[in-house]
Chains A and B, each alone.
Chain A
Amino acid sequence: MTSGTTFRHALRECLAITCLASILICTTLGPCSAYDLKNRVKEFKLKNGLKVLIVERHASPTVSLYISHEAGAVDEEDGHTGTAHILEHMMFKGTETIGTKDFQKEKHILRKVHDIGNALDAELMKGESADVRKIENLRKQLETHQQEAGKLSIPSETDRLYTEKGGGDLNAFTGQDLTTYHVSLPSNRIELWARIESDRMANPVFREFYSERNVVMEERKQTVESNPGRKLMEQFLATAFMVHPYRRPVLGWAPDMRFLNIDYTKKFFRTYYAPNNTTIVIVGDVSPDKTMKTIKRYFGRIPSQKIPARRVTEEPPQNGERKVKLLSDASPRLIIGYHKPTLPSFDDCVFDVIDTILSGGRTSRLFKALVETGMAVGVNTANGFPGARYPNLFVVFAEPVSPHTCEELEEIIYKELDILKKESVKPEELEKAKNQLKADILRNIATNSGLAGMLSYFETVAGSWQYITKFSDFLEKVTPDDIMATAKKYFEPRNRTVAELVRKK
């Protein structure tokens, strides 16, 4: 996330659960019978492979603009965790023509900054055998050159340009699966967006790399290390996945983050931010034809790239329960997860229904069993954690009310999951869940940014936004028997990982 600029942001606990937004969308999917999505979405593709989706909507002269790249933390190599995320930050540092006083001069100094930075990192990586004097010397050099580079740059130009022209929601989020940049603008300013975005997709300049590395370390302190829930989540994922990259945090492991490398970041950018790996979604007060002319003019000349085959280690089946405990001075909390397939499988859709039956609303089963009895202060479930490009997890989160314990909650949760395996869900309860899934999607569609976010997410992760209609067909087909079969197949102790936050004595 490249925000934190407002009070609201500062207070929001999930400031950089960089992929949670997508998961929420993913779990609240349903058919939008009363909204003719199929005929409202206009689809285009440029010669360089760039996909564009446009929905016209004229309630107010505003527009939401989303750009998603199929590039996330999952695409990083080991040792380079955090690269996708720092790249997202670097994309706000300007281009060869935005944010510079004299790029021809500036680029030479930046090259020096990077060389010195690389040399410094190489020395620091030697650990105890590092040459202390050399480090000191390189640090000084780095500072001098950074200052010199600073004199030639104009900081935060991208933000200034958008803000000045009325841009709102200017932000980006990096997830395991994808990276998305979005902004909302008064609808007469689309050319500004095209000018800035096409430029940074083609010619970004990675200014202030080393100070930004400190900022993301701070981001980690704020959103993970000061946040017991996120800390536990990290342990949970690293336990549930042994080899698949979903085991790694999006922000990166702290030791990797110290040495985030500018050359690797540039390579990652060139490979994955190519137009043929990108989807643009525009929802609002626009004319599709006119908008496409602007998009072709600005984005059409960015060359496509050869995207290498994605080599991701498959997670082997889990053959026994895994447990992890984290000591903390915070109140206890619990995460339970089960491995499962991802979309577009039918089972994934059944899990969306199970998700709703277990935690959708005040009459859901876990809410009634845990919150309405005063045993838990909150309980939630999520399907598709921590991403959806690869097989993932169905997860239950719960926080006990003192003096109840995580063990007590676990027992009740397992009992509820067992009931799903043994007793057929009543038709009314199934209908209620389906009604909720359908209404949730309508509420998502209601705002320009909600619809744009949903379309760009599915276009990127499921390969096509039309998965939304496919899901609707799936949903209609889900029966009580499917739910029972799915519960039996996956809610097995051997397929389970449990993480618990335990208060230090």
Chain B
Amino acid sequence: MKRCIICAAVFIVLLSSCAWHGAPVIDPDDIVYAPLRFEPPKAQRVKLENGIILYILEDHEIPLINVSAVIRMGSFYDPPGKEGVAEITGTVMRTGGTESMTGNEIDEALDFIAGQISVSVEADSCTLSMSVLEKDIDKGLQIFSDILTNPVFSEDKVEIAKTLKTETLERISDNPQKVAFRQFRRLMYHDDPRGRLCSVESVARIEREYLVKFHKRFFRPRNVMIALSGDIKGADAVRKIKNSLEEWNIPGGPEKPPPPPAFAEASLNYFYKDTPQSVVIVGQPAPGKNNPYYYAFEVLDFITGSGGFRSRVFAEVRNRLGLAYSAGSFYSPRTEYGIFGAYAMAKDSSTVDALSAITKILDTIRDKGVESGEELAWAKESIINNFIFSFATPSLIVMGQMMLEFNGLPDDFLTNYKDNIEKVGLDDLKYVAPRYLSEESRVVLVLGNKEKFSKPLSSFGDFYMEKNGTENREN
């Protein structure tokens, strides 16, 4: 009898291995991994005599060098009615020439050495980035520092920048998602300067002199931090940056970061756009990185919708209900505040169903927190294991370390991150959920054509109706 059982067992094993062409079947959850030990290299920090703070990390894998200067300025500081000044200042710094070279000469010199310099402007920071071949670092740094310190904003390039910005604004209406996220930002920040977006009219009012003034107001050594990584010895990098920037002496300390916003009150908003696919966003103010509940909220957001297929919004709206291709949540934390949102892009007839599904998920989490220890453990393990990718390349490491100082976060923020996530318990989620997912601070945005919705929006309450969802005009 015993033999028969063994025979049967062998037979079953044979059968299953026939059916299975790959390797021996091991439960993926039972795979044992070697421990991963990694101490990210620490960037070298140097303060130049004129006050510029420098972070440097060598990386000799590829003969390229990346340099990024981060400056405290941004659209937050746009003069009212002239929204767009910060962004166009950034654009024309790059294109409008310097005291020693015209914009076209800079373009020609950079393109010839296949170097790239670009400027990006956010709400409260501006980044001037450069990528050059190692052999061209001297030429690159000369142009880079010239753009940073001596831009002349030539009139013709100001005009072109304004023309292109205006056309770009006109074209936003071609993209329902861009329109929706732009309006979402305006609604969330409401009266705060972060909610004032540039428009065709505000761009038209911008003149060269504002750009010159804007540059003068923010660009000084103590308001600049520079990260450099790549194929260069640390000492050489310091020497070269000193040579190109040390004579830049303008008094003044670092610009204080702008205060956190006063968020808008709860609102329901509908924007008309005749599109086959609606955009639904449900937003809430969220904690910043210096808030003790930041880590709990990271976990909460992961479970809600940013943790991939298993996260609740994705699993429900896309997988179970099949209402949308894109659905999930996002959390953008700054130092002192953050924004959270859950979203879906759903076909017009399913718009209200998608909105219902999202608010139901948020309400459940708000009322009950997260009840399953397993779900919490999954989220924590995922976040902790993925954290290594914050250090995947030397340029990420050096930028990461510099941005801690720029944003006023503690040195050990990244080192302690994993431990802090590990400490998050179900109680923390229960505490944090009702505080941040309350209906009293919820901003709902629906963009689409309500004639084609299969259910009325009014089941949610009274919506503020905006007829022209394609707004790029004065707000």
Given A203-B21, A228-B174, A189:B33 Cβ within 8 A: yes
Name which residue of chain B comes closest to A61, CB basis: B38
Residue from A7, A166, A218, A300 within 8 A of B330 (CB atoms): A7
* CB within 8 Å of B: which A271-300 residues: 297-300
Chain A nearest CB from B118 CB (Å) reads 10
- Name the prevailing secondary structure of the B interface residues: mixed
**Is A466 an interface position by the 8 A CB rule?**
no
Given A155-B319, A196-B28, A218-B323, A297:B23 Cβ within 8 A: yes
**Is A123 an interface position by the 8 A CB rule?**
no
Name which residue of chain B comes closest to A224, CB basis: B276
**Is A164 an interface position by the 8 A CB rule?**
yes
**Is B413 an interface position by the 8 A CB rule?**
no
Chain B nearest CB from A332 CB (Å) reads 10
Q: Which of A236-244, A317-325, A381-389, A435-443 contacts B (4 or more CB under 8 A)?
A: A435-443
Residue from A59, A96, A219, A374 within 8 A of B393 (CB atoms): A59
Q: Are B310 and A156 within 8 A (Cβ)? A: yes
| A residues near B315, Cβ cutoff 8 Å | 155-156
Q: How far is the CA of A279 from the CA of B150 in the complex (A)?
A: 51
Name which residue of chain A comes closest to B103, CB basis: A362
Chain B nearest CB from A373 CB (Å) reads 8
Residue from B26, B160, B309, B393 within 8 A of A92 (CB atoms): B309
| Chain A residues within 8 Å of chain B by Cβ, number | 100
Q: Mark A419-457, 1 if CB is under 8 A from B, else 0.
A: 000000000100110011011101101111000000000
Name which residue of chain A comes closest to B161, CB basis: A374
Name which residue of chain A comes closest to B307, CB basis: A163
Name which residue of chain B comes closest to A439, CB basis: B114
Residue from A163, A227, A362 within 8 A of B107 (CB atoms): A362
Q: Mark B56-79, 1 if CB is under 8 A from A, else 0.
A: 000101111000000000000000
Q: How far is the CA of A98 from the CA of B25 in the complex (A)?
A: 10
Q: Are A15 and B322 within 8 A (Cβ)? A: no
Q: Mark A297-319, 1 if CB is under 8 A from B, else 0.
A: 11111110000000000000000
Q: Are A10 and B177 within 8 A (Cβ)? A: yes
Q: Are A443 and B131 within 8 A (Cβ)? A: yes
| A residues near B43, Cβ cutoff 8 Å | none
| B residues near A62, Cβ cutoff 8 Å | 388-389, 392
Chain B nearest CB from A1 CB (Å) reads 9
Q: How far is the CA of A237 from the CA of B164 in the complex (A)?
A: 28
**Is B168 an interface position by the 8 A CB rule?**
yes
Residue from B164, B324, B326 within 8 A of A9 (CB atoms): B326
Name which residue of chain B comes closest to A12, CB basis: B177
Q: How far is the CA of A227 from the CA of B26 in the complex (A)?
A: 45
| B residues near A188, Cβ cutoff 8 Å | 33-36
Q: Which of B44-52, B217-225, B377-385 contacts A (4 or more CB under 8 A)?
A: B377-385
**Is A138 an interface position by the 8 A CB rule?**
no
Q: Mark B170-184, 1 if CB is under 8 A from A, else 0.
A: 110111111001000
Chain A nearest CB from B426 CB (Å) reads 18
**Is B325 an interface position by the 8 A CB rule?**
yes
Q: Which of A109-117, A173-181, A208-216, A478-486 contacts B (4 or more CB under 8 A)?
A: A208-216
Given A198-B23, A221-B347, A399-B171, A442:B112 Cβ within 8 A: no
* CB within 8 Å of A: which B24-43 residues: 24-29, 31, 33-38, 40
Given A214-B322, A227-B175, A168:B386 Cβ within 8 A: yes
Q: Are A166 and B326 within 8 A (Cβ)? A: no
**Is A345 an interface position by the 8 A CB rule?**
no
| B residues near A161, Cβ cutoff 8 Å | 28-29
Name which residue of chain A comes closest to B23, CB basis: A298
| A residues near B29, Cβ cutoff 8 Å | 161
| A residues near B378, Cβ cutoff 8 Å | 160, 163-164
* CB within 8 Å of A: which B104-124 residues: 104, 107-108, 110-115
Name which residue of chain A comes closest to B176, CB basis: A226
Chain A nearest CB from B37 CB (Å) reads 8
**Is A194 an interface position by the 8 A CB rule?**
yes
Residue from B34, B62, B108, B391 within 8 A of A363 (CB atoms): B108
Given A184-B389, A218-B346, A442-B133, A164:B325 Cβ within 8 A: no
Q: Are B175 and A13 within 8 A (Cβ)? A: yes
Chain A nearest CB from B42 CB (Å) reads 14
Q: Are B310 and A195 within 8 A (Cβ)? A: no
Name which residue of chain B comes closest to A157, CB basis: B28
Chain A nearest CB from B453 CB (Å) reads 15
**Is A202 an interface position by the 8 A CB rule?**
yes
* CB within 8 Å of B: which A128-162 residues: 155-156, 159-161
Q: Mark A87-106, 1 if CB is under 8 A from B, else 0.
A: 00000100011100000000
Q: Mark B380-424, 1 if CB is under 8 A from A, else 0.
A: 011011111101111000000000000000000000000000000
| B residues near A446, Cβ cutoff 8 Å | 61-62, 64, 393
Q: Are A401 and B319 within 8 A (Cβ)? A: no
**Is B1 an interface position by the 8 A CB rule?**
no
**Is A377 an interface position by the 8 A CB rule?**
yes
Q: How far is the CA of A372 from the CA of B104 in the complex (A)?
A: 10
Q: Are B319 and A208 within 8 A (Cβ)? A: yes
Name which residue of chain B comes closest to A227, CB basis: B175
Name which residue of chain B comes closest to A158, CB basis: B309
Q: Mark B291-323, 1 if CB is under 8 A from A, else 0.
A: 000000000000000111111001100111011
**Is A187 an interface position by the 8 A CB rule?**
yes
Chain A nearest CB from B32 CB (Å) reads 9
Q: Are B326 and A4 within 8 A (Cβ)? A: yes
Interface centre among A203, A211, A372, A445 (most CB of B within 10 A): A372
Q: Are B131 and A164 within 8 A (Cβ)? A: no
Chain B nearest CB from A158 CB (Å) reads 8
Q: Are B61 and A301 within 8 A (Cβ)? A: no
**Is B19 an interface position by the 8 A CB rule?**
yes
Q: Mark B351-395, 1 if CB is under 8 A from A, else 0.
A: 000000000000000000000000000100110111111011110
Residue from B34, B163, B329 within 8 A of A401 (CB atoms): B163
Chain A nearest CB from B391 CB (Å) reads 5
Q: Are B318 and A60 within 8 A (Cβ)? A: no
Q: How far is the CA of A13 from the CA of B168 in the complex (A)?
A: 14
Q: How far is the CA of A81 from the CA of B176 in the complex (A)?
A: 27
Q: How far is the CA of A330 from the CA of B275 in the complex (A)?
A: 11
Given A199-B22, A377-B164, A443-B64, A159:B309 Cβ within 8 A: yes
* CB within 8 Å of B: which A443-475 residues: 443, 445-448
| B residues near A300, Cβ cutoff 8 Å | 23
**Is B93 an interface position by the 8 A CB rule?**
no
| A residues near B166, Cβ cutoff 8 Å | 401
Q: Are B21 and A219 within 8 A (Cβ)? A: no
**Is B343 an interface position by the 8 A CB rule?**
yes
Known: A186-B36, A195-B23, A226-B275. 7 other contacts (CB 8 A): A7-B332, A60-B388, A61-B388, A97-B27, A215-B322, A217-B347, A363-B104
Q: List 15 A-B contacts (CB under 8 A).
A: A59-B392, A98-B28, A160-B308, A163-B382, A184-B392, A186-B36, A188-B35, A192-B28, A192-B33, A211-B322, A212-B322, A330-B174, A363-B104, A363-B107, A371-B160
Question: What 9 A-B pairs have minimum CB-CB distances, sorted nearest first?
Answer: A166-B385, A7-B330, A439-B114, A156-B309, A4-B326, A159-B309, A202-B21, A330-B174, A298-B23
